[in-house]
């Protein structure tokens, strides 16, 4: 995506392999990805290799927005339908080789008709009915349009102060402030940067503002597997919403790859 020069590709590959050999065995995938992609950017001079991919993802997802709104409006439970759609959007991840928009209609239909394998949705609704603030940790470009549909239904269900958190700078196809503004997220939520370039949420590297909001928010939704893998803590207010994309996480949760999860970490095992 950055260069066709095989000599540059070889130099980058050698440097990445050298750095990978020093990773601690307990390093998380987002921690490793940060180093790998920093190396690629520095050695190629490309500050955002996925810029065009993210742009296409956002544009394609916006084309789906009217259809998704209609599906939610005609469902028996708009909040649940929009939540499942948000999880369907988590399939859009160009960091995963099999991910694409090619079969988005069946992806959406499958999400609307499939149960969460780990299902703490009822607990979420209970907490939401009493909450005054919600922190939504975003994941990928394109996917954020699906998140917007969910956020709109959250705010229909409950008048709430909602903040949408983006990455501090480009990393893979993760959402940045520019992406969120492009899809109209500022119409439904306050957008803030976490000040970090991890493809996840490593709180020690986030801004003081995000750290404080993480402690004070009545509800936190952490979207995507990268956030699940990187957040250190078991806050009872924290809900993970994602599609399982690898056997390691599937084994941890005792589910299968491609299962949908809406999980309160502190309550894991009760759902």
Cβ within 8 Å of residue 199, ≥6 positions away: 30, 33, 34, 37, 95, 167, 171, 172, 174, 226
Q: 206 is written with which tokens?
A: 């986030």
| 134 in any annotated domain | yes
CA 259, CA 239: separation in Å to the nearest integer? 16
In a shared domain, residues 23 and 108:
no
What would the pLDDT profile of 118-138 be if each residue is shown by its tens digit? Answer: 999 999 999 999 999 999 999
Helix (H, G, I), strand (E, B) or coil at 176: coil
| 85 in any annotated domain | yes
Task: Tell me how many domains the chain contains.
Answer: 2
| 146 in any annotated domain | yes
CA 201, CA 246: separation in Å to the nearest integer? 19
| 1 in any annotated domain | no
29 compared with 78, residue with greater pLDDT: 78
For 134, the enclosing helix (H) or strand (E) is strand 133-137
Q: What is the pLDDT of residue 105?
A: 77
Helix (H, G, I), strand (E, B) or coil at 21: coil
In a shared domain, residues 94 and 206:
yes
CA 194, 195, 201, 206 torsion: positive or negative?
Answer: negative
What would the pLDDT profile of 26-71 be if each residue is shown by its tens digit? Answer: 888 889 999 999 999 999 999 999 999 999 999 999 999 999 999 9
Domain range enclosing 155:
51-267
What would the pLDDT profile of 219-237 be if each residue is shown by its tens digit? Answer: 999 999 999 999 976 677 9
In a shared domain, residues 37 and 94:
no
In a shared domain, residues 112 and 181:
yes
Indicate yes or no: pTM above 0.75: yes
């Amino acid at each position: 995506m950055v260069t066709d020069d095989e000599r540059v590709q070889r130099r980058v590959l050698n440097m990445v392999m050298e750095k990978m050999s020093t990773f601690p065995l307990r390093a998380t995938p987002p921690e490793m990805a940060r180093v790998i992609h920093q190396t690629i950017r520095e050695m190629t001079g490309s500050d955002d290799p996925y810029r065009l991919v993210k742009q296409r993802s956002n544009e394609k997802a916006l084309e789906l927005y009217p259809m998704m709104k209609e599906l939610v409006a005609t469902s028996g439970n708009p909040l649940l339908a929009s939540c499942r759609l948000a999880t369907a959007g988590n399939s859009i991840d160009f960091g995963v080789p099999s991910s694409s928009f090619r079969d988005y209609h069946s992806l959406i239909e499958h999400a609307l008709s499939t149960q969460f394998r780990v299902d703490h949705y009822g607990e979420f609704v209970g907490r939401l009915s009493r909450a005054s603030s919600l922190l939504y940790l975003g994941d990928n470009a394109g996917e954020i349009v699906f998140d917007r549909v969910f956020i709109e239904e959250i705010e229909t269900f409950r008048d709430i102060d909602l903040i949408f958190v983006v990455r501090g700078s480009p990393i893979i196809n993760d959402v940045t402030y520019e992406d969120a503004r492009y899809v109209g997220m500022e119409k439904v939520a306050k957008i803030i940067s976490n000040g970090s370039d991890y493809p996840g949420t490593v709180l020690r590297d986030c801004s003081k503002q995000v750290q404080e909001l993480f402690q004070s928010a009545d509800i936190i939704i952490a979207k995507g597997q990268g956030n699940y893998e990187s957040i250190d803590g078991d806050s009872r207010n924290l809900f993970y919403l994602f599609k399982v994309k690898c056997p390691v996480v599937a084994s941890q949760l005792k589910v299968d790859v491609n299962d949908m999860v809406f999980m309160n970490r502190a309550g894991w095992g009760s759902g």
